[in-house]
Amino acid sequence: MVEKHDNLWKLLWDYDPNGLIVVDTKMTIKVVNPAFCQMFNLVSENIIGKPVSLVLGDVEYFQNVWDKNQAIRGEEKEYSQYNLYVRQVVFPIKDENVIACIMVDITQEWQRKKELINIKSETVKKVNEVVDNQMKVAQEIAGLLGETTAITKVSLLKIISMVEHET
């Protein structure tokens, strides 16, 4: 029964689409799952036993999780060198003297959000351009109307002057 249970956990570990990493209190990588390796384009044999900072950079928050015995849930973090954006949960497992991290890859969602922001920004820019152009055209029309009105007035005054002069 225990063997079946262990096999089930091994299957879950191997097939979980989320990146999973476990480090000890010295911030040394103990275990990673295949999804983590895929996210960071790594081979597990090459990073087990290495400092987690080699892969994740500044991991002071891992130490804070351990020191405060308090999990961090739902924090979003960018790993630009891997073109990766994740939502992560970091939590201590005191009984085992390790810190675990679950990473959900939200890179596509993040890229769509950035694209949407860019589209909105471009739309605002285009609307401003259209309004500016409309204002220029309105000023030009107003200028032309003013000129034609002045010419009309001059012509009318000449006609009035001729009519008054004849009478």
H or E element that contains 13: helix 2-15
Q: How far apart are CA 5 and CA 13, in angstroms?
A: 12
- Judged by phi (left if over 0) then psi (alpha if -120 to 50, else beta), residue 57 lies in left
Closest CA to 17 of 105, 76, 80: 105
- In whole angstroms, how far apart are CA 67 and each of 34, 63, 128, 167? 28, 6, 52, 108
Q: How far apart are CA 90 and CA 31, in angstroms?
A: 14
Q: Residue 27: what residue type?
A: M
**Lookup: tokens for 73:** 């849930």
CB atoms within 10 A of CB 47: 18
CB-CB contact of 21 with 28 (8 Å): no
| pLDDT tens by residue, the chain, 167 residues | 656 666 777 777 777 889 999 999 999 999 999 999 999 999 888 899 999 999 999 889 999 999 999 999 999 999 989 999 999 999 999 999 999 999 999 988 888 888 888 888 888 888 888 888 888 888 888 877 877 887 888 788 888 888 887 77
Q: Residue 118: what residue type?
A: N
pLDDT in tens, 49-59: 999 999 999 88
pLDDT in tens, 98-125: 999 999 999 888 888 888 888 888 888 8
